[in-house]
Amino acid sequence: MPKFLAVHTIPKLSKERWIQVANEISPKLPKNFSWNLTYCDFKNSKFFCIWEAPDRKKLDAGLKNLFIPVDAVYPVEVYNVAKGEFGS
């Protein structure tokens, strides 16, 4: 399934609140979505999430339906440095 990096700005979010939000959102994700991981920059209120979705349009709609603010979305591929190859 295609992977995407979504950049989110969410002000004044603590680590504790982030965990609550993640636990609230996860069960509401569409069946064909996967939220794989997030890099969190709490100081600058930036969150960089790796998503899998059928396509960009469906990801945009899904995030909008969940009221998740989005600054940008980029289609990405994973490069495994240890193996020296692209893949999961």
Contact partners, residue 16, CB within 8 Å, separation at least 6: none
User: What pLDDT shows up at residue 88?
Assistant: 66
User: What are the structure tokens assigned to 15, written together?
Assistant: 């680590």
Number of folded domains that form the chain: 1
Q: Range of 65's domain?
A: 3-86
User: What pLDDT shows up at residue 62?
Assistant: 93
User: What pLDDT shows up at residue 87?
Assistant: 85
User: What pLDDT shows up at residue 45?
Assistant: 96
Q: Domain holding 66: CATH number?
A: 3.30.70.3090
Our separate counts of H helices and E strands in the chain read 2, 6
From first to last of its 88 residues, the chain has per-residue pLDDT tens of 999 999 999 998 999 999 999 999 999 998 889 999 999 999 999 999 999 999 999 999 999 999 999 999 999 999 999 999 998 6
